[in-house]
A = this chain, B = another copy of it.
Amino acid sequence: MARTQGSHSDITGPRIQAAALELFARHGYAAVSMRQIAAQVGVQAGALYNYIPDKQTLLFRLMRDHMETLLDTRRTQAGSGDPEARLRDFVRFHIRFHLERPDAVFIAYMELRNLSPENFARIEELRGDYERDLQDILRDGSAAGVFSVPDTKLATLGVIAMLNGVNTWYRSGGRLSLDEVEAVYWSMVRKAVAA
């Protein structure tokens, strides 16, 4: 038997990525076997290798796609205006974007050590692009005198770390709505960098 009914590359490819995303996020890259991924897709393990060269590349593509989606989406939404408005937009964008895809976010910063050195470097480069975006805002705001941060780089990392924390506890339908969460964090960030 082979090529069961309804098998199509266009369908199986994305389903493999989706299954891997969910399983890697839940159990971790090293703890998930190719057979588990295949089972979730409804296929034998060997079939996966029509779509990916190996497990490592599967992980890398998930992370790369996530980072590129992050950068692309940000680019289309990045507004202009004074530094404070830009910072507020960044905070709101970051929270919303990350809460919409918790699995990809989780993987993108939990599985870095499972990347090969070359793949790690490529992901870190994309991450640097994103951080630079925020750092520019803080730099411009500091230059204009509306922000006062002791160290632009550390403030960047501090703000992002704080915002990333949302993903660890937020559950939709919980005590706070998404708008409220955004407001709370924006309040803290605004004050933290205020002049």
Known contacts A189-B192, A192-B192; A176 and B162 CB within 8 A of each other: no
Instruction: Produce 1/0 per residue, A17-61, CB < 8 A to B.
Output: 000000000111111000000000000000000000000000000
Interchain CB contact (< 8 A) of A176 among B31, B151, B155, B183: B151
A150 CB within 8 Å of chain B: yes
Query: Is A11 in contact with chain B by the CB < 8 A criterion?
Result: no
Q: Using known A-B contacts A161-B168, A165-B160, A189-B192, determine if residue A154 contacts B184 with beta carbons closer than 8 Å.
A: yes
Alpha-carbon distance between A193 and B187 when the two chains are bound, in angstroms: 9
Q: Is the CB of B161 within 8 A of A165?
A: yes
Is A149 in the interface zone, CB < 8 Å from B? yes
Considering only residues 148-172 of chain A, those with a C-beta below 8 Å from chain B are 149-151, 154-155, 157-162, 164-165, 168-169
The residues of A with any CB-CB pair to B shorter than 8 Å are 26-31, 110, 113-114, 149-151, 154-155, 157-162, 164-165, 168-169, 176, 181, 183-185, 187-189, 191-194
